[in-house]
Amino acid sequence: MQHHERDKTSIMNIGIIGAGMIGGTLARRLTQLGHHVSLANSRGPETLVPLAAETGARAVTAHAAARSGEIVIVTVPERAVKDLPKDLFEDVPSSVVVIDTGNYYPARDGSISEIEQGQPESAWVADQIGRPVVKAFNNIFFQSLLEKGTPATTANRVAIPVAGGTSEARAKVMQLVDQLGFDPVDAGDLDESWRQQPGTPCYTGDFSAPELRKALASVERARIPEYRKAADDAARAYWS
């Protein structure tokens, strides 16, 4: 695993809501980079004391995490999005970038009609929380996120797609992806984010940037139900 030294100007305050595989991994990696991380889950800060002690993150409530800095990462199962506090982002400045790492698995999340009817998963999340989001870190397995970060000059560096938000918000997330040791690939607007959903060619492929761009371009929107079913069937044993 790479430990990158960050200069003080690039240190950020980052909130993470959700402490599962991706949330916990991001907490570990981001604190290693020197960022100040506030970590929340649905069960309360006291349940995060061991993980906070291990990572150096601060255990807080979801409300506090949403107000902790420049970037807030929402990393909860799709079924848990509706359970987030309705006022979670109330009065949070619009300059704060919200990242959605989530994926929709019907076997775990139940059926969500808007997504089943074609709405991109992260667009649905944005509607639920009342904030624009940037989709990132959804297509990488947590173990790869933990272990495969490499310096920017590394050949065949693993790439991560970043979609949605304003170009400024996307650039901020892409900078974070790069700091974590991955090549950020601009995957366009949130309307295009279906290209990196479960079961698509780029999903958990650990591709290089050229390979990732090719995978994103090869995906067919009409096949989304097919991609989703393949991913859901593969994960079904895991969720049961």
**How does the average pLDDT of the chain come out, rounded?**
94
**Average pLDDT in the 119-144 region?**
98
Q: How confident is the model at residue 203 (pLDDT cuts 50, 70, 90)?
A: very high
Overall average pLDDT of the 218-233 stretch: 96
pLDDT, position 5:
47
pLDDT value at position 7?
52
Check: CB of residue 123 under 8 Å from CB of residue 193. Answer: yes
Residue 10 — pLDDT band, cuts 50, 70, 90?
A: confident
- Where b means 16+ CB within 10 Å and e means fewer, 30-62 reads bbbbbbbbbbbbeeebeebeebbeebebbbbeb
Take residue 8 and report the two structure tokens written for it. 């003080």
Query: Residue 20: what pLDDT?
Result: 93
- pLDDT value at residue 236: 87
- Give pairs for 172-180: CB < 8 Å, separation 24+: 172/70, 172/71, 172/97, 173/71, 173/97, 173/99, 173/134, 173/136, 175/10, 176/12, 176/71, 177/136, 177/137, 178/152, 179/4, 179/6, 179/10, 179/33, 180/29, 180/30, 180/33, 180/145, 180/149
What are the structure tokens assigned to 220, written together?
């067919």
Kindly report, residue by residue over 65-105, the tens digit of the pLDDT: 999 989 999 999 999 999 999 999 999 999 999 999 999 99
CB atoms within 10 A of CB 13: 16
140 burial level (CB within 10 Å; 0-12, 13-18, 19+): buried
